[in-house]
Structure 1
Amino acid sequence: MEGSKVKMEQAHVVMFPFILQGHIKVLLSLGELLSEAGLYVTFVNTHQNHKRLANLQALTTHFPNLHFESISDGLPDDHPRTLFQDFFEGMKTKTKPNFKELIVSLNKKSENGLCPPVTCIIGDGVMSFPIEVADDLGIPIFSFYGTSARFLWAFFNIPKLVEEGQIPFFDDNMNYRIHGIPGLEGLLRRKDLPEFCALKEIDHNMINFFVEETLAITKTSGLIFNTFDELEIDSVQNVATKCSKLYTVAPINALLQSQIGPRAQSIASLGSLWDVEQNCIKWLDSQPSKSVVYVSFGSITKSSISQLKEFWHGLVDSGHPFLWVIRPGAILDEEVIPKELEKGQKERGYVVDWAPQEEVMAHKALGGFLNQSGWNSILESIVAGVPMICWPYSGDHFINCQCVTKVWKIGLELGDWDRLTIKTTIKELMGSRREEFQESVDKAAQWAKNCISKGGSSSLNLEKLIKDIKGIKEIKV
Structure 2
Amino acid sequence: MEFIGHILIFPFPIQGHVNSMLKLAHLFDLSNFHVTFSVPSNIHARLLAHTDVNSGRFSPRFRLQSFPAGIYEGAIDSKEGFMELCDSLNRIAKPFLRECIAQKRNFSLPFTAFISDFQLSIALDVVGEECFNLPVYYFRTISACGFWAYFSLPDLFEAGELPIKENGIDSSPITKIKGMEDFLRVRDLPPFCRDEDLAVLFYTETRLAVHARGLILNTFEDLEGPILSQIRTKCPKVYTLGPLHAHLKATLASKSTHSNSLRQEDETCMAWLDSQEPKSVIYVSFGSISVITRQQLMELWYGLVNSGKKFLWVMRSDLVAGKDEETPIPLELEEGTKANGYIVGWAPQEAVLDHPAVGGFLTHSGWNSTLESIAAGVPMICWPFFADQQMNSRFVGEVWKLGLDMKDVCDRSSVEKLIRELMEKRKGEFLERAENMGKLAKQAISEGGSSYCNFDCLIQDIIKVNEDMRKPLKNVLAS
Q: Deviations over 1:169-212 (max 9, x none)?
A: 3442122101133210122112222323223xxxx543333221
Partner of 1:207: 199
Q: After superposition, where does 1:422-441 map in structure 2 within 5 Å? A: 422-441=415-434
1:455 maps to 2:451: no
**CA distance in structure 1 between the aligned counterparts of 2:274 and 2:176, rounded to whole angstroms:** 50
Q: CA deviation at 1:288?
A: 0.9
Q: Deviations over 1:254-278 (max 9, x none)?
A: 111111112x62x432x21000111
CA separation of 1:103 and 1:60: change in aligned 2, threshold 3 A: farther
Identity %: 39
Q: CA deviation at 1:90?
A: 3.2
1:27 maps to 2:21: yes
Letter in 2 for 1:360: V
Q: CA deviation at 1:472?
A: 2.0
1:347 maps to 2:339: yes
**CA distance in structure 1 between the aligned counterparts of 2:102 and 2:313, rounded to whole angstroms:** 45
Letter in 2 for 1:272: S
Letter in 2 for 1:103: I
Q: CA deviation at 1:70?
A: 1.0
Contact 1:155 1:193 in 2 (8 A): no
Contact 1:128 1:217 in 2 (8 A): no
Q: Deviations over 1:145-168 (max 9, x none)?
A: 111212211222111121122212
Give the total of aligned pairs: 458
Contact 2:313 2:342 in 1 (8 A): yes
1:158 maps to 2:147: no
Partner of 1:378: 370
Deviates more, 1:35-44 or 1:174-183: 174-183
**CA distance in structure 1 between the aligned counterparts of 2:83 and 2:53, rounded to whole angstroms:** 34
Q: CA deviation at 1:342?
A: 5.4
Q: After superposition, where does 1:348-367 map in structure 2 within 5 Å? A: 348-367=340-359
**CA distance in structure 2 between the aligned counterparts of 1:205 and 1:285, rounded to whole angstroms:** 48
Gaps of 5+ in 1: 1-6
CA separation of 1:60 and 1:41: change in aligned 2, threshold 3 A: farther
**CA distance in structure 2 between the aligned counterparts of 1:363 and 1:285, rounded to whole angstroms:** 8
Contact 1:322 1:348 in 2 (8 A): yes
**CA distance in structure 2 between the aligned counterparts of 1:397 and 1:80, rounded to whole angstroms:** 18
Q: After superposition, where does 1:70-219 map in structure 2 within 5 Å? A: 70-72=66-68, 74-75=70-71, 79-80=74-75, 83-107=81-105, 111=107, 116-136=109-129, 137-170=132-165, 171-199=167-195, 204-219=196-211
Partner of 2:474: none
Deviates more, 1:411-420 or 1:378-387: 411-420
Q: CA deviation at 1:439?
A: 1.3
Contact 2:359 2:423 in 1 (8 A): yes
Q: CA RMSD in A?
A: 2.0
Q: Deviations over 1:292-325 (max 9, x none)?
A: 1100001111011121111111111111111100
Q: After superposition, where does 1:281-292 map in structure 2 within 5 Å? A: 281-292=270-281
Gaps of 5+ in 2: 471-479
**CA distance in structure 1 between the aligned counterparts of 2:119 and 2:185, rounded to whole angstroms:** 22
Q: 1:268 aligns with which of 226, 233, 258?
A: 258
Q: CA deviation at 1:408?
A: 0.9
Partner of 1:389: 381
CA separation of 1:72 and 1:281: change in aligned 2, threshold 3 A: same
Letter in 2 for 1:231: L
Contact 1:385 1:438 in 2 (8 A): yes
Partner of 1:3: none
Partner of 1:401: 393
TM-score, with length taken from structure 2: 0.91
TM-score, with length taken from structure 1: 0.91
